[in-house]
Amino acid sequence: MAKVLETTGMVCPFPLVEAKEAIVDMAMGEELIINFDCTQATESIPRWAATEGHEITEFEQIDDAKWRIIVKKGN
């Protein structure tokens, strides 16, 4: 079951900070769905995921300034 993290309206770096905290308690292979509207997070979240060994399974722009990234927990 995927966990949804709603960070829309939060300024950067809070979507990334919230994602880092949320994924800690998840099991390997579980997915974290992150909804956000901070443009900096379009780069910082994928970079963090790659560095930590997580996989981006979906990266979608869902509005003019709103995105959804799904991170599958690795390691």
Tens-digit pLDDT profile for residues 43-58: 999 999 999 999 999 9
> Number of folded domains in the chain?
1
Q: Is residue 38 among the annotated active site residues?
A: no
Output phi, psi for 13, to 5 deg: -95, 20
Tokens linked to 21: 């905290």
- Enter the pTM of the model: 0.95
Active-site residue (options: 10, 12, 22, 26): 12
Domain that includes residue 56, residue range = 2-73
The CATH number of whichever domain residue 54 belongs to comes to 3.30.110.40
pLDDT score of 75? 80
CA distances from 18 to 30, 51, 64, 65 (A): 16, 17, 22, 19
